[in-house]
Amino acid sequence: MRRFVRERVLGAALAVGLTVAAPAAVGAQTGPRPPVTISRCSGGITSVELVEIASYDVTLRNTTPVTADRVGLSARYGRHEKRATFDLMGPFPPGVDVSRHLRRTVNGGLFAYRSDQNDCFIDYVHFTNGAFWRRTP
């Protein structure tokens, strides 16, 4: 029994170590500072017949030396910390601004607004070499 518990703890520690070590290998940081930055996040929410539609224009830049192939982004809106989440597929080459128009239906309601600068966040980044970064809550 003792050997089994030791192996499970060691296995879990190795898995956590690989998750944390992988981003460092590509120059990405774990925690609150994402390896992809947002220089523009304009747009907002429109409401049509109790359906809220999130529509944003974003510009992203990969600050690492490795190409990212997937980026998770969220935009905060409303009074109750609602978030419109987007899963962007790459490539996101190093040091290049990438602009995208994002649109999706979110929770229904009557909320609507538009702004040139919104609270947008990078939630996760996946790199072509298999490493990844995830925002800490």
Domain boundaries, the chain: 2-134
Which of 7-11, 22-26, 32-36, 99-103 has the highest average model confidence (pLDDT)?
A: 99-103
- pLDDT exceeds cutoff 90 at 109: no
Nearest to 40 by CA among 59, 54, 63, 55: 59
Residue with tokens 């935009």: 75
- 2-134 carries CATH number 1.20.1070: no
* Distance (Å, whole) CA 122 – CA 85: 10
So what's the pLDDT on residue 42?
A: 94
